[in-house]
Amino acid sequence: MDIQNAQVKVINQSKHDLPNYQTIHSAGMDLRANLEAPVTLKPLQRALIPTGLYIALPEGHEAQIRPRSGLAYKHGISIVNSPGTIDADYRGEIKVLLVNLSDQDFVVEDGERIAQMVVAKYARVAWQEAQALDDTERGAGGYGSTGTK
């Protein structure tokens, strides 16, 4: 299936190359920390890590800032507001709100790949207020209503 590349303007004020896709069908591009000095995250500490990147997404697109599973598995590093949302009209620096969920200090180094960015299309809603909603098989069932096996 054809995957179309969205053209995205970017200003790179970081010391590092632009993010890229690591494999041909990667959904996300890894973002690198752009730091003057390493940042130490103590257990349960969080920090807003700059990337030095500024983007202008096309209308109808958002960028999601998601954790990297390797950092999560090996070091308990996640993102507090995961997935972070970069709006199409945001012109500030992309930053990543890392949190250390392990019981050991973690040092974020300059240039380290700390998160991944997935660009996605989204829909916006125009409300149609109603008195009733159409019936479905699920109805109001949720929170495990279909069982576990």
Ligand X SMILES: O=c1ccn([C@H]2C[C@H](O)[C@@H](COP(=O)(O)OP(=O)(O)OP(=O)(O)O)O2)c(=O)[nH]1
Name the residues that contact ligand X, by CB under 6 A: 65, 81, 84-87, 90, 94-97
Chain residue at closest Cβ approach to ligand X: 84
Nearest approach, Cβ of 82 to ligand X (angstroms)? Answer: 8
Which residue from 119, 13, 125, 12 is spatially nearest to 59, judged by alpha carbons?
A: 119
The two three-digit tokens of residue 118, written as one number: 């997935």
Flag whether 135 is marked binding: no
Q: How far is the CB of 123 from ligand X (least distance, A)?
A: 17
Q: How many other CB atoms sit within 10 Å of the CB of residue 63?
A: 23
Overall size of the chain counted in residues: 149
100 labeled binding residue: no
Mark residue 44 as left, alpha or beta (left: phi above 0; alpha: psi -120 to 50; beta: remaining): left
- When computed from its CA atoms, the radius of gyration of the chain, rounded to whole angstroms, is 19
Q: CB of 93: closest distance to ligand X in angstroms?
A: 7
Nearer to ligand X, 121 or 138 (CB): 121
Nearer to ligand X, 32 or 95 (CB): 95
Q: For residues 46 and 90, which CB has a smaller minimum distance to ligand X in the complex?
A: 90
User: Which residue type occupies 125?
Assistant: V
